[in-house]
Amino acid sequence: MSIFLTRPELPFCKGCGHHHVVRSTVRALEAMGVRPTDVVLVTDIGCHGIVDGHFATHTVHGLHGRSVALAAGIAMGLPPGKKVIVYIGDGGATIGLQHILEAARMNVDLTVVVHNNMLYGMTGGQPSSLTPRGFRTAITPDGSPLPHHDLCRLVYDAGASYVARVLGVGDFSEVLRQALEVEGFALVEVLELCTSYGVKWNPGLRLKALAEETGYTLGVWTRPPRPVFRLRAVAEKPLGPRGVGLLDLPPVEVRFSSPLEGRWTLILSGSAGEGVQQAAEILARAAMAAGLHVTKKGSYPVTVGVGFSTAEVILSRSPIFYHGVHEPDAVVITSMDGLQDQQDRIRGMRRGVLWLDASLPTPETGMEVRIRDFRGHAGARYAALYAVWTVLQETGTLPPAALLETVRGSPLADRIPVKMF
């Protein structure tokens, strides 16, 4: 059995074209000599997606039509040499067409394999926008009245480096290998028949004849190499022809240490526009600089300029597999908006420490309450950052120097009044 599979059998109906896609993918990867740990397979919703557990690579299961966006984020953050593959059906490609076009336009380094059996197989055989005119489906018994999109043409015109359309029968691993070896965006559209629905409603159908009759031209379309889109933090420096990027967050180097043994959770809540998320991000990067694992989540109303702004931060000595915070160790409130947002949580808490701005009423709680004059000392704009500084000073969770250095390295450093610390 291949090192890329966890078991020899596959979960698809007998005769389904998905078998050939998986077997050809495995052959292509074997021919390239890559390791399973160098491969990330991102699947979409559809029968093809059940294959996740059968692959010994990294696997991620996306929402319907969103797998290419998910994979693009992964690919942008990986160094050259890793292989990101998307498995998506014609239904998912229809739903997420703009994600595919954008990834092609940006030339993100990934390979999309479209399982085009010309219908939504998992939900009973409804037509997608890749269903050709005349093809009968569950809701078009007389044949689809509309022509299909030429996905390969759309994607090529959007800027893809490599595009191919093949019949999904036998071994087409050579085309997949070519696509995977391209540095940049590649898409292989595999024409298949769903034996459970496509054949049922279109008896006697032959795939090759269908492709010819409906204008599904087979072939490979390529263009000369052009820059690949990567985040600057992972691209080669200086950015040369191998990469372009929009984000410029420098990588975090571990230069400090933390006495934290287990996990420490913090809720920081204040008003929109008063730097709550920025303060939490600075804390997160400072914790990374102290060698900790970190998650940070933000929540705020849709109208981001008014109301509350709340951040949840988890610091941990070991990897974080669940980023929910139910009973935080620390709650920091810097304004009335924050207090109102967190009042139910605070009322129900029986442990932990609440740091509360001196301008606020003290709520009922089982937490230890510490009143501090964050707003009076640092002003509304920097009360949250000063509160984080205060908490670190009082708990010793991180060396305050780690926070200070992170502030100095921030793109906004020249605006933050460091003398307040």
Q: Look at the block and give the residue holding tokens 């050939």.
A: 20
Contacting range for ligand SF4; rule: CB under 6 A; set: 9-17, 93-101, 236-244, 371-379: 9-17
> Could you tell me how many helices (H) and strands (E) the chain has, helices first?
12, 13
Q: Is 12 in the site for ligand SF4 (CB under 6 A)?
A: yes
Q: Is 117 in the site for ligand SF4 (CB under 6 A)?
A: yes
Return the number of the residue (194 or 289) whose C-beta is nearest ligand SF4. Answer: 194
Query: Which pair of tokens denotes residue 368?
Result: 């230890």
Q: Is 146 in the site for ligand SF4 (CB under 6 A)?
A: no
Q: Is 75 in the site for ligand SF4 (CB under 6 A)?
A: no
**Residue closest to 285 by CA, chosen among 413, 419, 420, 378:** 413
Q: Is 314 left (phi over 0), alpha (psi -120 to 50) or beta?
A: beta
The least distance separating ligand SF4 from the CB of residue 125, rounded to whole angstroms, comes to 8
Return the number of the residue (198 or 243) whose C-beta is nearest ligand SF4. Answer: 198
Bridge partners for 333 per DSSP: 269, 356
Return the number of the residue (89 or 352) whose C-beta is nearest ligand SF4. Answer: 89
Q: Is 51 in the site for ligand SF4 (CB under 6 A)?
A: no
Return the number of the residue (45 or 384) whose C-beta is nearest ligand SF4. Answer: 45
Cα(307)–Cα(318) distance, integer angstroms = 34
- Among residues 121, 184, 338, 352, which is the contact residue for ligand SF4, using CB under 6 A? 121
The least distance separating ligand SF4 from the CB of residue 230, rounded to whole angstroms, comes to 34
The least distance separating ligand SF4 from the CB of residue 190, rounded to whole angstroms, comes to 12
What is the per-residue burial (b if ≥16 Cβ within 10 Å, else e) of 382-416? Answer: bbbbbbbbbbbeebebbbbebbbbbbeebeeeeeb
Return the number of the residue (197 or 355) whose C-beta is nearest ligand SF4. Answer: 197
Q: Look at the block and give the residue holding tokens 């109102």.
A: 340
Return the number of the residue (16 or 384) whose C-beta is nearest ligand SF4. Answer: 16
* Phi then psi dihedrals of residue 352, to 5 deg: 90, 175
Q: Determine contact, residues 290/402, Cβ cutoff 8 Å.
A: yes
* Residue type for position 404: L
From residue 359, how far is each of 277, 300, 384, 412 by CA, in Å? 21, 22, 14, 27
Q: Is 18 in the site for ligand SF4 (CB under 6 A)?
A: yes
The least distance separating ligand SF4 from the CB of residue 15, rounded to whole angstroms, comes to 7
- Among residues 4, 5, 16, 416, which is the contact residue for ligand SF4, using CB under 6 A? 16
Contacting range for ligand SF4; rule: CB under 6 A; set: 8-16, 278-286, 312-320, 390-398: 8-16
Here's the x/- map for ligand SF4, 184-223, by CB under 6 A: it reads as ----------xxxx--------------------------
Cα(86)–Cα(14) distance, integer angstroms = 23
Q: On the CB side of 379, how many CA atoms lie within 13 Å of its CA?
A: 9
The least distance separating ligand SF4 from the CB of residue 239, rounded to whole angstroms, comes to 42
Query: Which pair of tokens denotes residue 167?
Result: 């019949």
Return the number of the residue (5 or 180) whose C-beta is nearest ligand SF4. Answer: 5
Here's the x/- map for ligand SF4, 30-49, by CB under 6 A: it reads as -----------------x--
- Taking CB under 6 A as the criterion, which residues in 299-358 touch ligand SF4? none
The least distance separating ligand SF4 from the CB of residue 47, rounded to whole angstroms, comes to 3
* Phi then psi dihedrals of residue 201, to 5 deg: -90, -10
Return the number of the residue (135 or 374) whose C-beta is nearest ligand SF4. Answer: 135
The least distance separating ligand SF4 from the CB of residue 165, rounded to whole angstroms, comes to 18
Q: Determine contact, residues 234/79, Cβ cutoff 8 Å.
A: yes
Cα(358)–Cα(331) distance, integer angstroms = 14
Contacts of 142 (CB under 8 A, 6+ apart): 136
Q: Is 124 in the site for ligand SF4 (CB under 6 A)?
A: no
Q: On the CB side of 136, how many CA atoms lie within 13 Å of its CA?
A: 10
Residues at the contact surface with ligand SF4, assessed by CB under 6 A: 12-13, 16, 18, 47, 117, 121-122, 194-197
